[in-house]
Amino acid sequence: MSSFASVHAFEIALANLRDADNEAASDARIRQGELTKPAGSLGRLEELAIFFAGWQGRARPQINRARAAIFAGNHGVTVHGVSAFPPSVTAQMVANFAAGGAAINALSEAAGLELTVVALDLDRPTADFTGDAAMSEAECLDALNRGAAVVDTDLDLIVLGEMGIGNSTAAAALCARSFGGGATDWAGPGTGIDGHGVARKAAVIDRAIAFHADAPRTAFETLRRVGGREIAAIAGAILRARQLGIPVLLDGFIGTSAIAPLAADNPAITDHCLAGHCSAEPGHKRLLGRLDLDPLLTLDMRLGEGSGAAVATNIVRSALAAHDKMATFAEAAVSASL
């Protein structure tokens, strides 16, 4: 059964977002004040524990089951030379994921994450969105639902990542259409193109934004017109996770761009999301600022694949371990005051 049976169902889900459990978050905040440490001394780790308590609905949250879901798609816009690699690399990397040889394989294992890889019609790239919508309504809705399908009800955390040659161009177009600014504000080197390549990419994005200028600026229309299947799948997973109250760890610029159209329609969509890291792609810092998301890590990573978010999962696990396993002042017979 599809999570979003129609465009209208998707829009209703985005307009009616589940809230966190404030009582559980308050109980977790009280517990933080009772643990054997000076108040606030664990900094961001304390905030993470309280965040997870609110979404899990319990004062002592845990991560018993977590998944990294990586979506792959191909893009028609690559005909304009916007990437340093050919589209065939997408399928080659999916094969590498399956063989266990990619960074996300190693990083998922290190973080205790199940790894799920979903290849979305790699033999059918999206349309070149400088002269057409990237996807039909049916194709975009299918991608949203294929993303939603990876969010099992018993997950405690989901990490979302992507693979798709040309998708940094789609990401920049999504951000420009969602939040404004010119293509040069959002376009970056992606897979490693030089300055001339970035300028060419920006020109392609500007043409796309101009071509779709009169189209509705709803989340769905923005995703289908200048997005990609893998990016729409991430958006679907984010929204489904919100319906289930499951926290999301976002990855880099491309993965985070999936939430931009949703946030333009309903800014509260980011409330159950954490930014795993800030990538070296220039537009990512700007995007995180627009979304009011403070990244857990800044390691100059720019790989994608969910890699930065997988590394950040270890920070989350540390936060919840300290919150759950530390003794209180009363339990340790330690004075809570000087």
Please tell me which residue in 47, 281, 305, 331 is annotated as part of the active site.
305
User: How many angstroms separate the CA atoms of 214 and 221, rounded?
Assistant: 11
Evaluate whether 255 touches 167 at the Cβ level (below 8 Å): no
DSSP-H helix ranges across 132-281: 137-148, 167-179, 183-186, 195-211, 219-226, 229-244, 253-257, 260-265
Q: Residue 336 has what pLDDT?
A: 79
Q: Tens of pLDDT along 9-29?
A: 999 999 999 999 999 999 999
> What contacts 232, CB < 8 A, 6 or more positions away?
135, 140, 143, 144, 147, 223, 224, 258
Q: Residue 60 has what pLDDT?
A: 98
DSSP reduced 3-state for 275:
strand
Q: Tens of pLDDT along 42-72?
A: 999 999 999 999 999 999 999 999 999 999 9
Q: Residue 2 has what pLDDT?
A: 79
User: How many angstroms separate the CA atoms of 195 and 201, rounded?
Assistant: 10
List, in sequence order, every residue forming a beta bridge with 274; answer none if it has no partner: 249
Q: Residue 1 has what pLDDT?
A: 65
Catalytic residue status for 305: yes
Note down pLDDT in tens along the chain; length 338 residues: 679 999 999 999 999 999 999 999 999 999 999 999 999 999 999 999 999 999 999 999 999 999 999 999 999 999 999 999 999 999 999 999 999 999 999 999 999 999 999 999 999 999 999 999 999 999 999 999 999 999 999 999 999 999 999 999 999 999 999 999 999 999 999 989 999 999 999 999 999 999 999 999 999 999 999 999 999 999 999 999 999 999 999 999 999 999 999 999 999 999 999 999 999 999 999 999 999 999 999 999 999 999 999 999 999 999 999 999 999 999 999 987 64
Q: Residue 92 has what pLDDT?
A: 98
List, in sequence order, every residue forming a beta bridge with 163; answer none if it has no partner: 72
Q: Residue 338 has what pLDDT?
A: 44
